[in-house]
């Protein structure tokens, strides 16, 4: 008798767990695309540069790729109006996912510094993705903390040349 009660209660817990998962999938707020999500071929593109605001997600039809600008994880760029020894670099985290690939987070730097493992371009799914622009620049009085959530980036995506000799994968 005790075993039947235990099995029955485990079955009820399993079914309520499945029901909760169905509700999470059906929840209209969860299935709605965020306000910044766009399907684009020409929206917010200038001279082949695709612009994304922090947290914005776009499906790029011509590349069959979903791109999300997650944020800037590091910004050591020299603030405006300050003399610096090193120009610094901004490191943007961009999540990319092809139609048949898993999501991958790319760390794209505003400048190439191989000695510090900063790269402005990287390859994904047969394309070279390059960070072209990070805005706004830090100000001397506010620093980079005031810019959290306000960053915008510009990236370019080009078909990778298969004959090009790449030393970095």
Domain boundary assignment for the chain? 1-32, 34-159
Pick from 131, 133, 153: nearest CA to 53 = 153
Q: pLDDT at position 18, please? A: 54
Collapse the DSSP code of 2 into the 3-class scheme (helix H, G, I; strand E, B; otherwise coil) and give the result.
Answer: helix
Could you tell me the two tokens for 167? 């030393």
Residue 121 CA to its chain's centroid (Å) = 14
- How many of the other CB atoms lie within 10 Å of CB of 15? 10
Q: What is the reported pTM?
A: 0.64
At 113-168, the pLDDT tens digits run 888 888 999 999 889 999 998 888 777 666 555 567 678 999 999 988 776 555 55
Element (H, E) at 156: strand 152-159
Whole-angstrom distance, CA of residue 135 vs CA of residue 152 = 5
Collapse the DSSP code of 6 into the 3-class scheme (helix H, G, I; strand E, B; otherwise coil) and give the result.
Answer: helix
At 46-96, the pLDDT tens digits run 578 899 999 999 998 988 899 999 988 888 888 877 788 888 888 999 999
């Amino acid at each position: 008798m005790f075993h039947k009660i235990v099995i029955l209660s485990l079955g009820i817990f399993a079914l309520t767990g499945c029901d909760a998962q169905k509700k999470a999938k059906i929840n209209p707020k969860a299935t709605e695309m965020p306000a910044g999500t766009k399907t684009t071929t020409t929206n917010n593109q200038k001279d082949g540069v695709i612009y994304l605001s922090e947290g914005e997600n776009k499906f790029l039809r011509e590349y069959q790729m979903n791109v999300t600008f997650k944020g800037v994880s590091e910004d050591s760029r020299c603030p405006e109006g300050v003399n610096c020894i090193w120009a610094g670099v901004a490191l943007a985290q961009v999540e990319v996912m092809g139609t048949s690939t898993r999501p991958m987070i790319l760390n794209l730097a505003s400048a190439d510094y191989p000695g510090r493992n900063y790269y402005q371009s990287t390859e994904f799914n047969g394309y070279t993705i390059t960070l072209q622009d990070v805005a706004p620049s830090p100000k001397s009085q506010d620093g980079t903390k005031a810019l959290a959530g306000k960053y915008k980036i510009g990236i370019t995506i080009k078909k990778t040349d298969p004959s090009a000799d790449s030393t970095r994968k």
